[in-house]
Chain A
Amino acid sequence: MSPGLFDRLNQEMQARDKTPGLTMSDVLVLPEAERRLLNWMMRADEVSLAEVADRLQADETAARARLAELMEKGYVREIDIHGDVRYRVRLAPKRGREIPLNIWSALDDKVDK
């Protein structure tokens, strides 16, 4: 195995442990209310606190608490657009395939030729 390949894998594994975010397979097993809120947020791209409150049919304090829970789980992030606070789903990076390292190494060799 080449040092380059090992370094790349090592970096990826370290990054994986630190990276929060929602995977689409997570979405399928979430409780219905949470799943539907996140589906809606993804389709809307980014939403305001008022829009979340409207969607939940709740006041802004309750909506803020719900968003704080989702941010704590790493599923949602707050973004600032010219002073306007918006909320967006944070998707987890797609992981590379976990298959024997010598396959990638062999493929690298073939492709580089």
Chain B
Amino acid sequence: MAKVVSIHSFRGGTGKSNTTANLTAIIAQTGKRVGVIDTDIQSPGIHVLFNLEEENMDKSLNDYLWGRCPIEEAAYDCSPTLKVGGGEVAVMGGGMYLIPSSIKAGDIARVLREGYDVNLLHDGFRDLTRRLNLDYLLIDTHPGLNEETLLSITLSDVLVIILRPDQQDFQGTAVTVDVARKLDVPQLLLVVNKVLPRYDLEAVGRQVAKTFDAEVAGVLPLSEDVVSLASGGIFALRYPDHPLTQRYRQIAAKIMG
């Protein structure tokens, strides 16, 4: 039975997709089969981190939701396209599969205009884990609270909420934590991202844990190296010995339990 993990933030720009991609790669490196699905259908982006070019994206989550293909046909094995520090191809132990949302303007407009059958999204999560024999399914959600985000949270074994040390993020996270508890999510983890390096990171983690009465899986400092990479790859693969990668590994370990 696959473990379903939703990665969410109340506001945009928290580093949600970057964190999702890094966690996906780290878990796959341990020999697990990992799927990652981009349910941010109105502003997709995680495919960039996996080096999946638009012209190579034959099918997407949108095609599945419109009944054009089974969901596994929209899954791309991204292991061969990923590069590690020296430029060589990454060796992912189990396999890493991305189900992107379409980046075509017409497809985004159509899904916003017409909606879709949410039961298909529900079925899709189940079918994907079975047909690709996944150990983990990570769901990259749209920021804020909408129907697909709430469904993803409900179906998750683990919900990871990403926040920055920012008053607006704190308020939004309080709402999300409250919703997650109403939806009976079995495991709730917080990740504080983009913390100024001069702060005491462990003290920030303790403060956030106390504020939300929830476990903090990791505190990630704002990193010039991440900014420099500019979504041009997966940080943990490019910089496997970086202290930030170590922190990603600690978060992955909490998810894997």
Contact = CB atoms under 8 A, between A and B. Distances in A.
Interface stretch (B90-98, B144-152, B233-241): B144-152
Contact of A25 (B119, B126, B147): B147
Interface string A83-102: 00000011111111100000
Interface in A49-84: none
B114 A96 contact: yes
B122 A91 contact: yes
B118 A92 contact: yes
B147 A96 contact: no
Contacts of A28: 150, 179, 182-183
Nearest to A29: B182
A104 B113 contact: yes
Contacts of A25: 147, 150
A42 B150 contact: no
Contacts of B88: none
Contacts of A108: 109
B142 to A, nearest CB: 12
A27 interface: yes
Contacts of B150: 24-25, 27-28
The interface residues of chain A, by DSSP majority, are classed as helix
Given A23-B147, A24-B151, A111-B109, A93 B182 contact: no
A39 B184 CA distance: 7
B116 interface: yes
A16 B150 CA distance: 20
Interface residues of A, number: 30
A80 to B, nearest CB: 17
B174 to A, nearest CB: 15
B154 interface: yes
Given A24-B154, A111-B105, A111-B106, A35 B114 contact: no
B256 interface: no
A18 interface: no
Given A24-B147, A28-B179, A97 B112 contact: yes
Contact of B151 (A36, A90, A91, A111): A91
Contacts of A96: 112-115
Interface string A22-43: 0111011000000110011011
A104 to B, nearest CB: 5
B155 interface: yes
Contacts of A104: 109, 113
Contact of B114 (A8, A45, A107, A110): A8
Interface in B78-116: 105-106, 109, 112-116
Contacts of A97: 112-113
Interface in B46-99: none
Given A43-B155, A104-B113, A111-B106, 14 more contacts: A21-B119, A23-B147, A24-B151, A25-B147, A40-B184, A42-B151, A45-B126, A91-B122, A93-B117, A93-B119, A96-B112, A96-B113, A97-B112, A107-B105
5 contacts: A12-B115, A24-B151, A27-B154, A42-B151, A95-B115
Interface of B: 105-106, 109, 112-119, 122, 126, 147-148, 150-151, 154-155, 179, 182-184
Interface of A: 8, 12, 21, 23-25, 27-28, 35-36, 39-40, 42-43, 45, 89-97, 104, 107-108, 110-112
